[in-house]
Structure 1
Amino acid sequence: MAKFTFNMPDVGEGVAEAEIVEWHVKAGDLVEEDQHLVDVMTDKATIDIESPVAGKVLEVAGEIGETIAVGAMLLVIEVEGEASANEAEAAAERIEDEMSDADGADAAPVPAAVAERIEVENPDASDADDAIAAGPKPAPAPSPAPAPTPEPKAEAKVLASPAVRKRAKDLGIDLAEVRPAEDGRVRHGDLDQFLAYNSQRGFSPAGAVRADEEIRVIGLRKRIAQNMAASKRHIPHFTYVEECDVTALEALRADLNANRGSRPKLTLLPLLITAFCRLVPDFPMINARYDDEAGVVTRAGSVHLGMATQTDAGLMVPVIRDAQARNLWQLASEIARLAEAARNGSAKSEELSGSTLTVTSLGPLGGVATTPVINRPEVAIIGPNRIVERPMFVPDGQGGERIEKRKLMNISISCDHRVVDGYDAARFVQEVKRLIETPVLLLQD
């Protein structure tokens, strides 16, 4: 019997270390050649490492979340005979060569993190499929001692709104037993207090006490945390928000979809991307990358658009290459393809890097306005928000105005103030507003 030390292989592109994400074996396990041993994460991808030899695992290096250097001991395997140990060495070298050649192309992807983490982000600004999962509700405060039961009141004399009366009826509460906090009118807060004080009478509080839970920040979530912290630490952000009337844009989208034939269905995002790409030549500092260590800003000649996408593993940013060279239908197809690749883990590393500008959206969950975090080393990120219908004053064609229901959407842009001035960011968004409020301009050559 001989001991074979399997060291962390070199995965190429100057990677010096990797984080242990998940062990698939432990000391004492018998493993076969090419068996999946461990998942590690580099700055570029999550990589599956396989065993170069069959044998018994004697020792593994490190716990989940720890970092291991390339060339350091990964695990020790007991093999039969010295010849087997030599064969294992050769197999290990073969695996390292294959991993280096593959350059992470078939590995699970790692994003360039982006956007405020409210989030999920959905590349489709009109699709609710990627809504953010709400976190657990906080545990309620301990119920105080029961309060003295108030003097009964005649139901007819209790002041309360219809909504409060309906809620009390649904809960089986006699409003005459509820003591209002002010001005004699029972409000929802008074019902809440009544429920808390009278839980022993069968009125249970809404929440349930849950035990604290500790979750280690590892893998993709750790990368996101590091990238977000670096972006906020190094970049002086500012955010500009403008309201846009997208009534005509949504009507155009509906017409295009009604006559699309076999082409993919258009969401709002391809139309917005088209607007961004038309304006970038006039605002080159928006589509740029800043190397703050070298003090160099690179204005990109093409728009490689990062598209923030929520996945089960966390936020990823697949990149639409040369977005300015694609028409609406091509953009729609590429958006769908990249989003699916990111979610199912098939996106390649080159599809998750090299973006020059990023768009991030929560779709119908987008809220009134967002302040997205820049995808470093880019200098700007654009965030379309939720479309809402509100009354607006519009020209009546006779020199006056009339009130009309319109579809409105806010567009947020966060910029690196070292590179982009507030005036330029505002001008860019105002031009975006002009294009999407007159959407026929998006279709002209």
Structure 2
Amino acid sequence: MPVSVTMPRLGESVTEGTVTRWLKQEGDTVEVDEPLLEVSTDKVDTEIPSPAAGVLSRIVVGEDETAEVGSELAVIAGEGEEAGAAAPQQEAPAEQAEQAAAAPQAEAEQPAVEEPAPAAAAPSGEGTPVKMPALGESVTEGTVTRWLKQVGETVEVDEPLLEVSTDKVDTEIPSPVAGTLLEIKVAEDETAEVGGVLAIVGAAGAAPAQPKPEPKPEPKAEAKPEPKPKPEPEPEPKVEEPTPGVSYNEPAAEAEQAAQPVKAEQAAQPAAPTTTPQRPTVPAQAGGEEGAGYVTPLVRKLAAEHGVNLSSVNGTGVGGRIRKQDVLEAAEKAKAAQAAPAAQPAAAAPAPAKPAAKPQPSGKRGTVEKLPRIRKAIAKRMHESLHEMAQLTTVIEVDVTRIAKLRAQAKDSFLQRHGVKLSFLPFFALAAVEALQTYPIVNAQLDLEGGTITYPEAEHLGIAVDTERGLLVPVIHNAGDLNLGGIAKRVADLAERTRTNKISPDELAGATFTLTNTGSRGALFDTPIVPTPQSAMLGTGAVVKRPVVVNDPELGEVVAVRSMVYLAMSYDHRLIDGADAARFLVAVKERLEAGNFEAELGL
């Protein structure tokens, strides 16, 4: 019996959702709970699983179309019941009516029609188009930040094909079909509208024909001898032998390490045989087919500026690809390796180490670059927040000496028990969440036009994380249900996945109160900007030791060295009065200064 797939309710205030991608096509077999399609709302992007096993017989709502909660998205029928109907539905909409009428007469032939269907798409785009998906209800375009595959390479279904950046999230776009990447329509750093064609993926057999004409700059294979001014025309046959092997980079890395005592950054200059594999890898990377694999122009330029040999760099990106941070780290290691031999003869004079530690001028001086989408989005939101709210900041000083002593006692056992280091941030987060439960007005949201104040049922704590792409705020949902160890683990997990771009869009949404640790970079305090629709944000400064007047029971008022920190809370003065903010901050202060965390730490 056919089963209807309906739009689920993905949030209390969510009334509709947009279909961003169908993971299955009409005629495909699906299992229970197998991902069927992707849906985007104004709060979350998620997958909708199949409610039953069978065949996807009919898609009711197409990609980029919006449906209300509870409406029908598709129909799943039993095996063989609707399998023949898939072919007509996959054809152009103008032909659907005619083919649907002919379907009952050609049921026996339609299994064969389904195979030529992909070939029917080939004349228009000579393959299957890869389109820009809708990555949020308000997202209208995206920027291609990096292609993970190049023209002529083979791809599998759902294999990451490229990386896309929008004003809300950076994500990977998978290949909708298996085959070969025939054509790239949108280059890196270019923008495409939602639904625009990014690339063409065709059958595996068609691959050799198309990539060869386009990269016919494969005379770059002849360009390899161009570096022949550098002394070795003969070793090129030696390069061809290791090239088929996957471990081609390993000898290059070993050669790099062998050359480090001489010059770690100038791997191209030594005429020793160890540099022979390194020299051809540089042009190979420019083509994106050998050596370290595909490398973006930005990374190649950065490597050239810092004298980094890309063949010796271990990439931390998707599929081991080299990213900007990998090049910068390799450059720092090379500088350290150069400084080490020079420092050994003059071990008694540490002075030379100080000049080496001086910051080097940035390679961006005197240049102009395009404004990244995420920076543009941050700028827009910060500007809107300041103009929509009457923001005010209140600062208090907190003595965290007792917490500092507890950390010293429990840090080793805490690391063994929870697998993360114990910093001050979990203490601040726990104290803030407990104070939010006592003073819910700080956790509330104001709707001035609607004339309402909404008090959330739980405390969803946003944690500001500094990344290469900008400041992102992953969310610890239901933070009030976690203890100190639970908060510490969630903070470490979210921060790591945010920095490595593995965070999901729904984990970046839904915060009711945000905590930003500006003290991690040494700032005493700042005045945070509250992100809408939140009403308050707490900034924690650096914990520093300084003399403070304390009241000793026996000695009276004395000056002692204490660990002190400033807590600065910005808030919407339209909703939160200064007295409310002061009461909240005092509650946090008292909880931290009391330092009653022994039970949480197992002491």
Distance 1:352 1:437 in 2: 31
2:397 to 243, 250, 260: 243
- 1:303-345 Cα offsets, whole Å, 9 max, x none, are 1111111122222211112111111111111111111111222
Partner in structure 2 of residue 66 of structure 1 = 191
- The equivalent position to 1:334 in structure 2, one of 486, 490, 500, is 490
Aligned residues: 320
The 5 A counterparts of 1:8-407 are 8-11=131-134, 14=137, 16-22=139-145, 24=147, 29-30=151-152, 32=154, 34=156, 38-42=162-166, 43-50=168-175, 52=177, 54=180, 56-57=182-183, 60=185, 64=189, 66-68=191-193, 70-74=194-198, 211-257=365-411, 259-260=413-414, 262-264=416-418, 265-291=421-447, 294-398=450-554, 400-407=556-563
- Would you say the 8 A contact 1:289–1:299 is kept in 2? yes
For the pair 1:416 / 2:572, whether they are aligned, the reply is: yes
Cα separation, partners in 2 of 1:55 and 1:45, compared to 1, 3 Å: closer
With a CA cutoff of 8 Å and minimum separation of 6, indicate the structure with the bigger relative contact order: 1
The share of aligned pairs that are identical, in percent, is 30
2:413, 2:138 → 1: CA distance? 49
Q: Are 1:33 and 1:51, in contact at CA under 8 Å, matched by a contact in 2?
A: no
| Residue identity in the other structure for 2:175 | E
Structure 2 SS opposite 1:373: coil
Deviation at 1:392, TM superposition (A): 1.7
Offset, 1:414: 0.7
- Counterpart AA for 1:254: A
Q: Bigger CA drift: 320-329 or 408-417?
A: 320-329
8 A contact 2:425–2:517 mirrored in 1: no
Cα distance change of structure 1 residues 254 and 63 upon mapping to structure 2, 3 Å threshold: closer
Residues 211 and 259 of structure 1: is their aligned pair in 2 closer, same or farther, counting only changes over 3 Å?
A: closer
Deviation at 1:297, TM superposition (A): 3.0
- Find the aligned partners of 2:200 and 2:597 in 1 and give their Cα distance: 65
Task: Decide which of 426, 429, 443 is 2:585's aligned counterpart.
Answer: 429
Instruction: Compute the displacement of 1:288 (Å).
Output: 2.4
Partner Cα separation in structure 2 for residue 364 and residue 10 of structure 1: 37
Change in CA separation of 1:402 and 1:77 when aligned onto 2, cut-off 3 Å: closer
Distance in 2 (CA, whole Å) between partners of 1:378 and 1:257 is 33
Cα contact 1:18–1:41 (8 A) shared by 2? no
Distance 1:415 1:324 in 2: 21
Contact persistence 2:131–2:196 (CA under 8 A):
yes
**1:249 positional shift:** 2.1
Q: Distance in 2 between matches of 1:258 and 1:61?
A: 51
Distance 1:329 1:214, change over 3 A: same
The whole-number CA distance in structure 1 between the counterparts of 2:365 and 2:414 is 52
- Whether the aligned pair in 1 keeps the contact of 2:547 and 2:561 (CA below 8 Å) is yes
By how many angstroms is 1:30 displaced? 4.6
Note if contact 2:519-2:525 (Cα within 8 Å) is conserved in structure 1: no
Distance change in 2, residues 1:252/1:64 (3 Å): same
Q: Aligned partners of 1:323 and 1:209: how far apart in 2?
A: 42
What RMSD over aligned residues (CA atoms) do the two structures have, in Å?
3.6
Higher helix share: 2
- 2:528 and 2:135 mapped to 1: Cα distance? 33
Q: Deviations over 1:197-239 (max 9, x none)?
A: xxxxxxxxx9899851112112333332232222223222111
Q: Secondary structure at the match of 2:541?
A: strand
Q: Distance in 1 between matches of 2:565 and 2:539?
A: 11
Provide the C-alpha distance between the structure 2 equivalents of 1:312 and 1:286, rounded to a whole number of angstroms.
Answer: 31
* Closer, same or farther: CA 62–232 of 1 in aligned 2, 3 Å: farther
Shift of residue 61, structure 1, vs aligned partner? 5.3
Which runs of 5 or more structure 1 residues have no equivalent in the other structure? Answer: 82-132, 134-169, 171-205
Residue 46 of structure 1 deviates from its aligned partner by 2.3
Tell me, what secondary structure is at the counterpart of 1:390?
Answer: strand
| Structure 2: gaps of 5 or more residues | 1-121, 206-327, 329-350, 352-359
The code of the aligned residue for 1:19 comes to: G
SS at match of 1:406: strand
Q: 1:67–1:292: structure 2 CA closer, same or farther, 3 Å change rule?
A: farther
- Provide, for residues 97-128 of structure 1, a one-character-per-residue CA deviation record: whole Å limited to 9, x for no partner: xxxxxxxxxxxxxxxxxxxxxxxxxxxxxxxx
> CA–CA distance in 1 between the matches of 2:484 and 2:580?
27
Instruction: Find the aligned partners of 1:436 and 1:21 in 2 and give their Cα distance.
Output: 46
CA deviation string 1:121-172 (max 9, x = no partner): xxxxxxxxxxxx9xxxxxxxxxxxxxxxxxxxxxxxxxxxxxxxxxxxx9xx
